Structure 1
Amino acid sequence: MVYREPMTDPQQDRHVTDPADLKAVAHPLRVRMLALLRRHGPATATELARRLDTETGSTSYHLRILAKHGFVAEAPADPQERRHPRERRWAAVHRTTGWSNTQLAATDAGREAAAMMRRRQVEVLIGDVERFEAEQDRLTPAWVEAAGIGDLQVRLTETSLSELWDRFYAHLDELRARDTDDPATAVVSIVVAGFPRAADR
């Protein structure tokens, strides 16, 4: 499974094997902070606090946790910027965060961490739906028509479901590369899911 956000400077992907690492990033505020760093690039604790409407002390604490688990790192200083010598800018280290469901499910801690992350992803989806409903009058008809959620039930093998994931992400990367320099682009939040379910439910 993959949790991914667009980055201004994409780097390698992170495949999490330690449940403690996934649990650390699954904290609600840390998920949002990491998403902002991936989307907008390096920022200070103060800048993140302003965006998230929280206290700088809180964002500083959570940045240290993310750094401890290898998700963020201090960004190199820009000689062009005039900042306080002790002010630190933080950057996301990876483009995406991924993990193996079966590997993590081998322990109670891993199962709990993966479950926490899935809940965060659902919360992101709910927030996106609520924002869309509140803001759609300010969007163009084309954006309103393009937005939406698919809810399908199909019969597939586990091999076909895995192939669907691979093809989806490959095509998404192609589209993102095609649209990179198009001024009409906007950040689009995409949440995808595929779970087996009992035939009688």
Structure 2
Amino acid sequence: MEYSYEISDPQVLRVVAHPLRVRLLGLLRADGPATASELGRRTGESSGSTSYHLRELFKYGFIEEDADRHDGRERRWRARHRYTSWNSRELSGTAEGREAVRIMRLRQVDELAHAVQEFDESDWEPGWVEVAGMSDHLHELPPAALGEFMARAGEVLAELAARHAGDPDARQVHLWIGGLPRRPEEQA
């Protein structure tokens, strides 16, 4: 699996920003290859619907057929990339690009809300319950400092994942890192 798919076309970003496509791609990345029927059961959608959206993801290079685990009856799909990324500054040069970025950010918030709703403390050991959660911070930073924070957070996460690879207590963990400036009138 390649590391990242860098999107530079707003139309391609809109393709992946569809709510079901975001979810299907996320499931393939997190849980590995699956068929349209399996994904339909996981998402509560018909296999016809998931099949259509999987073909769209395939058409734009987000997923590929999993030739290693072909069952002969139904295609198995797998994600081609671990992450999807885009340059918001470049895409925001047009109205179409600004709208695509806005829609994708809203999809990310939807996924965050879904993860928070699904988390039930009674399902987890006390150690996980103690460290699970979210925090918000409000600081005055210039763009360069926010960029540095985002880059360093990614580096720290990569280092921790490498250091703890194979740990029997390790689990997949949802992590969101974001930073958005506030307009001055919001600060009053």
TM category (shorter chain) comes to over 0.9
Give distance in 1, aligned partners of 2:109 and 2:126: 26
**What does the per-residue CA deviation read over 1:28-62, in whole Å, with 9 as the maximum and x for residues that have no partner?**
11111001111111111111111112110011000
Deviation at 1:109, TM superposition (A): 1.1
Superposition map of 1:1-201 within 5 A:
10-78=1-69, 83=71, 85-132=72-119, 135-201=120-186
Give distance in 2, aligned partners of 1:50 and 1:63: 14
Give distance in 1, aligned partners of 2:185 and 2:10: 33
Gaps in structure 1 of 5+ consecutive residues: 1-9
**What does the per-residue CA deviation read over 1:78-132, in whole Å, with 9 as the maximum and x for residues that have no partner?**
3xx7x3x341111111111000111111111111111111001111111122122
* Matched length: 186
SS at match of 2:98: helix
Identity %: 45
SS at match of 1:109: helix
Which amino acid is 2:140 matched to?
Answer: R
Give distance in 1, aligned partners of 2:78 and 2:118: 26
SS at match of 2:177: coil
Give distance in 2, aligned partners of 1:114 and 1:108: 10
SS at match of 1:95: strand
SS at match of 2:3: coil
> Could you state the TM-score of these two structures normalised by the residue count of structure 1?
0.88
Deviation at 1:77, TM superposition (A): 3.8
* Matched residue, 1:4: none
Deviation at 1:140, TM superposition (A): 1.4
Gaps in structure 2 of 5+ consecutive residues: none
SS at match of 2:85: strand
Closer, same or farther in 2 for the Cα pair 1:145/1:62, shift >3 Å? same
Deviation at 1:200, TM superposition (A): 4.5
Give distance in 2, aligned partners of 1:200 and 1:61: 45
Give distance in 1, aligned partners of 2:22 and 2:131: 26
> Could you state the TM-score of these two structures normalised by the residue count of structure 2?
0.94
Give distance in 2, aligned partners of 1:137 and 1:42: 29
Q: Give the RMSD, CA atoms, in angstroms.
A: 1.3
